[in-house]
Amino acid sequence: MNRADLVAWVGTHILPHEADVRAWLKRRVRSEASVDDVVQETYCRIAALGDVSHIKDGRAYFFRAASNIVIEQIRRARIVHIDSVAEMEALNVVDDEPTPDRIVAGRHDLLRVKALIASLPERCRQVFELRRIHGLPQREVAERLGITENVVEQQSMRGLRLILKALSAEETAPTPGSSRSTKWYEQRNRVRNR
């Protein structure tokens, strides 16, 4: 997109909403100067875009970009005023950073899935890894392993079914000592031994 097209797009899709964005910001930030800074920074970021075809709603994009700038300013501030906390809450901002518990749980889940993949039957595991993890096309997997594309498709689906079944079984695992416990462990071992 050339500069003239970008300027025309901003004039049509962004500029008409500046008054609304300013009014919205005035209710959320401490000073008029801050509002001006946020609006100016928002325009700078929009001007720096190489392409705007991904923007479906200019108004929503303008509001979201301004909101993101306010959040960045609050996070960068060395001294966090009590008003800043209220501002962040007013913006309805959800921190996308995972909590330490979620990071640990995610790592645990990843290790669990890796173990399930490793426990697949040899041919099934090879096909599953090449197809689903490395993203190779079905034809290339078939050529590498010297099998038909139909077998690749079947083994890939089989691997996925076995992994999903094992994950489902683990989620509904009974507590040790319960009446379902023995039956569950037998079923889990059958899935792993396939």
Q: Which residues contact 42 (CB under 8 A, 6 or more apart)?
A: 21, 62, 65, 66, 69
**Average pLDDT for residues 6-25, to the nearest whole number?**
87
Radius of gyration of the chain (CA): 27
Distances (CA, A) of 180 to 22, 60, 97, 164, 194: 62, 52, 38, 20, 22
- pLDDT tens digit sequence for 170-192: 766 655 555 555 555 565 555 55
Report whether pLDDT(40) > 80: yes
- pLDDT tens digit sequence for 140-170: 999 999 999 999 999 988 988 898 888 777 7
Classify the C-alpha dihedral 125-129-132-137 as positive or negative: negative
**Which residue type sits at 176?**
P
Q: Is the pTM of this model over 0.75?
A: no
Separation CA 137–CA 131 (nearest Å): 7
Separation CA 137–CA 152 (nearest Å): 10
Give residue 120's pLDDT. 94
Give residue 93's pLDDT. 47
**Which residue type sits at 56?**
K
Report whether pLDDT(10) > 60: yes
**Average pLDDT for residues 34-51, to the nearest whole number?**
86
- Which has more confidence, 86 or 112? 112
Give residue 145's pLDDT. 94
